[in-house]
Amino acid sequence: MYDAAVIGAGINGSSVVYELTQAGKEVILFDGGGIAAGGSGAAGAFISPKFSKAGELKEILHDAFLYSMEFYATHFPECFTRTELLHIAKDANDAESLRLYKERTTLPLKDITSTLNESVSIDAGIVDAKRMCEALSKYAKFIKEDVETLRYEDSYWVINETFSAKEVILATGAYKPVIQEPYIELRGVWGHRIDVETATANPYSLHQFVSISPSKEGVVAIGATHNVHYHPQNATEPYNIEQGRAELLEKANRTLILENIKIVRDYMGLRSGSFDYMPLVGELVLSSETLANKDIRFKVKKPDYSEYSYYPNLYMINGSGGYGFVLAPYLAKILVEHIINDAEISKRLLPARFFARWVKKQ
């Protein structure tokens, strides 16, 4: 019997494992592909705030950026590199957002000007994606298999009819869900990153049409490109790697001319985003029982989430989109403090918000 089972060994699942094991919990971790085998392994793992005018996602990413920069540098310096980030506007709308961001942000900005377009620069960082996930999940029992069955009985969860745990945390991204609930809406975005040998030296973490890492021993990482139409579990044809490479290089060369190029390695995987762009953190609503409760008024402007029925000791951390490595340590801390100490989670993060919207449409 384990204190907790985490399903999914990307950056979200690995971060939750770290927080749980640091709290002294016995944890078992499942992933059929291996640690960081999906979207997390394909990520450029750039640590950056969101350069936009305003909004809830910008606010949470501001806090998560500050937290994660300190977290990685303090606990995993061997997997983390501080670097100067230069974000260059893609178009006129993006340029206006950057101008407003620079006027309003409280983050210390670097004094640098790009001749290409409006830009903003800040001290940021890059994470070694796979090594970081491995380091975070080091003290869990890792089982390389997909979770096919999850059953609750006698106050604990039975996993694949073999393992048991008191708590279960779902961190499966946009891949096949373990629990089927109609209100959980996640969008899969295919990511492709390439490591490239080039004679061109790049001192910055560059972000414009794609992200380009600083040069390290003559190699830069470019990615991840977004393909909203390809999903590995639904596709009828394999992903076109050559076409993906060509798109990445074409977009990278709009920002920085890369000379004497040799592609070293490809990384591919599926990112998970929510349809309101905010991450999902917290308990899962049990829709069948909640809908059967005739005392709940569902069509209200401000629903009371405490009226809903929830799966016992079952949680989710998901939907971070392209900011997984920024959000994961911050969100994992929030979730584990909730699990252990019953600390409150903001309503804007709870999966229940999707149930509330879904049930109004029924």
Question: Does any domain span residue 52?
Answer: no
User: b or e along 12-28 (b: 16 or more beta carbons within 10 Å of the residue's beta carbon)?
Assistant: bbbbbbbbbbeeebebb
Number of folded domains that form the chain: 2
| Whether 139 and 27 share a structural domain | yes
Please report the pLDDT score of residue 139 as a whole number: 97
Task: Find all residues with CB under 8 Å of 237, minimum gap 6, and list them.
Answer: none
Give residue-wise pLDDT tens across range 161-218. 999 999 999 999 988 889 999 999 888 888 899 999 999 999 999 999 999 999 999 9
- Look at residue 272 and tell me whether its pLDDT is greater than 70: yes
For 35, half-sphere exposure in the C-beta direction (CA atoms, 13 angstrom radius) is 19
| Whether 309 and 162 share a structural domain | yes
CA proximity to 206, closest of 39, 7, 3, 44: 44
- Sign of the four-CA dihedral 200, 205, 207, 213: positive
- Look at residue 226 and tell me whether its pLDDT is greater than 80: no
Beta bridge partners of 223: 211
Rounded Cα–Cα distance for residues 308 and 137 (Å):
33
CATH number at residue 352: 3.50.50.60
Domain edge (last residue) among 272, 304, 337? 272
Rounded Cα–Cα distance for residues 222 and 212 (Å):
5
pTM, to two decimals? 0.93
Give residue-wise pLDDT tens across range 80-104. 999 999 999 999 999 999 999 999 9
Length of the chain in residues, anyone?
362
| Whether 330 and 219 share a structural domain | no
Q: Which structure tokens are listed for 57?
A: 């996602």
| Whether 239 and 258 share a structural domain | yes
Give residue-wise pLDDT tens across range 40-83. 988 889 999 999 877 899 999 999 999 999 999 999 999 999 99
Q: At what angle do helices 324-341 and 56-75 cross, to 10 degrees?
A: 90
> Distance between alpha carbon 351 and the CA centroid of its chain, in Å?
15
Lowest mean pLDDT among 10-19, 86-95, 133-142: 86-95
Which range marks the domain in which residue 195 is found?
187-272
- Look at residue 114 and tell me whether its pLDDT is greater than 60: no
Pairing of strands 186-197, 163-170: unpaired
Please report the pLDDT score of residue 233 as a whole number: 74
